[in-house]
Structure 1
Amino acid sequence: MSQKKEIEERQEQLAEEIRRVKLPRGRQVFGLVDQLLGGTRMRVKCFDGKLRICRIPGRFKRFLWVRAGDTILVEPWELSGDKRGDVLFKYSRSQLQYLRNKGLLKDMQVFEEF
């Protein structure tokens, strides 16, 4: 494959990835993974100012790999929603850049000090 075609394919993939950015709906919030606790659990600083222990649901276990410092989409549980939640989506770098440009993550620098 020529370099020109490879570059074009990468740009198409990037554009396609940006179009499919999941936004929070209802009770869902953005979160920043603080610490991995083992298994499918992690400590997450949510953008609503709460610290939650979140888990990766069984349907995502094999496909969703999360590290400390990743930005994720969290859905708090109905019971004990202030302390626990489920991870729904992990944002890539290009998706985070898109969210910053749209103004949805404008307070992220203030949040990192939290």
Structure 2
Amino acid sequence: MVGIERWRMGNDGKGGRKNLRMPEDDEVFATVTDMLGANRVKVRCADGQERTARIPGKMQKRVWIREDDVVLVSPWDWQDEKADITWRYEKADADQLRREGHIQ
């Protein structure tokens, strides 16, 4: 196995399932639909709502979030149309979530 094949299957050479972070009780899957600026994005959540989500300070320079990324968001208790982003999935991880039926 050389190059892209090894990368696609992981370092161990097996193409098995990867354990991914799943949503906790107060979190929901979402897809980024629009970049609003000022560390804010528009997301479409798995529960059918469209929310404005904040990118927290600890993620701003370390994790780059783009349109069509799959993320976990934590909706606000006091204002349902807003949320905080808690996790961003890599493209391969998002594909695995789609294959397993967790997201569409």
Which bin holds the TM-score, normalised by the shorter protein? 0.7 to 0.9
Q: 1:27 corresponds to which letter in structure 2? A: D
Report what 1:72 is aligned to.
Answer: 71
In 1: Cα distance, 2:5 partner to 2:34 partner? 37
| SS across alignment from 1:95 | helix
| SS across alignment from 1:19 | coil
Let me know the Cα RMSD of the aligned residues: 2.4
Higher share of residues assigned helix: 1
| SS across alignment from 1:99 | helix
Give the length in aligned residue pairs.
Answer: 101
Q: Is the 8 A contact 2:27 2:74 kept in 1?
A: yes
Identity %: 31
Given the two structures, how large is their TM-score scaled by the length of structure 1? Answer: 0.75
Q: 5 Å matches for 1:1-114?
A: 4=2, 10=7, 11-12=10-11, 19-80=18-79, 82-105=80-103, 108=104
In 2: Cα distance, 1:88 partner to 1:35 partner? 17
Q: 2:88 corresponds to which letter in structure 1? A: K
Unpaired runs of 5+ residues, structure 1, are 109-114
Given the two structures, how large is their TM-score scaled by the length of structure 2? Answer: 0.82
